[in-house]
């Protein structure tokens, strides 16, 4: 997925007309599609935060029940909280949206026929002044679901990671179909979120702790 996101960004930089054409195509769904997207978005928006809160409470409870594994549980909490706060929070919503100035597809003349000029994701000189298109905060939050997937037991981890990636891809598709983001906005958010998760996974040495691998498995009773 990281390679796909990177190649997508390169492609959108080299062939912006393709990205514009995709945005135009995505907006042809009509009112029924828009209503369905609104329902799907409401679910997709709250799921990552609800997951973070639920898992943090579970890990705190497990740490209190088994002091031998409490350190691993607290590291898992730090991993989840930091990747969520830094990725969707600081990098995307806190920084990029305030400095990118990229108009959303719905506000772009090349997509809608009226509005501001289309700007590539790397330009940072568009007409948007707040809550801009680059990059997608909701997509970054959706791809964050890969982080808890990495804490699942080894036998289910590949399926959990695949589900997290699919959740992120669906969330990005919803935002594109709603005319809220270009493909490159979604691709960058996926790339940023996944790279941050992998870096935090290494820095916090999550994979070096055998008890970490099953952080979401209930701990054995302390003897």
Q: Which of 174, 137, 160, 131 is nearest to 42 (CA)?
A: 174
Q: Is residue 123 part of a domain?
A: no
Q: Is residue 48 part of a domain?
A: yes
Q: Is residue 174 part of a domain?
A: yes
Give the pLDDT band of residue 171 (cuts 50, 70, 90).
very high
Task: Convert the pLDDT of each residue in 24-46 to its tens digit.
Answer: 998 887 666 777 788 888 889 99
Q: Is residue 157 part of a domain?
A: yes
Indicate whether 69 pLDDT > 80. Answer: no
Q: Is residue 113 part of a domain?
A: no
Q: How far apart are the first and last CA of the chain?
A: 43
5 vs 207: which has the higher pLDDT: 5
Q: Is residue 180 part of a domain?
A: yes
Look at the chain and report how many structural domains it folds into: 1
Q: Is residue 168 part of a domain?
A: yes
Instruction: Return the structure tokens found at 209.
Output: 């702790």
Task: Convert the pLDDT of each residue in 77-126 to its tens digit.
Answer: 999 999 999 999 999 988 999 899 999 999 999 999 999 999 999 999 99
Average pLDDT over residues 133-160: 94
Domain housing 171? 2-99+131-214
pTM given for the model: 0.89
Q: Is residue 107 part of a domain?
A: no
């Amino acid at each position: 997925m990281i390679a796909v996101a990177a190649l997508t960004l390169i492609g959108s930089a080299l062939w912006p007309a393709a990205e514009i054409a995709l945005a135009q195509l995505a907006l042809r769904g009509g009112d029924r599609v828009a209503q369905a997207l609104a329902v799907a978005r409401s679910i997709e928006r709250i799921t990552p935060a609800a997951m973070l809160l639920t898992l943090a409470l579970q890990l705190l409870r497990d740490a209190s029940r088994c002091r031998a594994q409490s350190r691993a549980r607290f590291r898992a909490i730090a991993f989840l909280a930091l990747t969520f706060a830094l990725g969707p929070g600081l990098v995307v919503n806190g920084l990029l949206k305030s400095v990118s100035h990229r108009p959303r597809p719905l506000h772009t003349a090349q997509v809608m026929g009226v509005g501001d000029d289309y700007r590539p994701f790397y330009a940072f000189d568009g007409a948007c002044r707040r809550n801009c298109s680059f990059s997608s905060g909701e997509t970054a939050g959706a791809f964050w679901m890969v982080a808890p997937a990495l804490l699942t037991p080894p036998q289910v981890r590949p399926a959990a990671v695949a589900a997290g990636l699919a959740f992120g891809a669906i969330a990005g598709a919803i935002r594109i179909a709603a005319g809220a983001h270009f493909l490159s906005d979604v691709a960058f958010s996926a790339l940023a979120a996944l790279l941050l998760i992998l870096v935090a996974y290494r820095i916090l040495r999550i994979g070096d702790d055998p008890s970490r691998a099953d952080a979401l498995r209930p701990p054995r009773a302390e003897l």
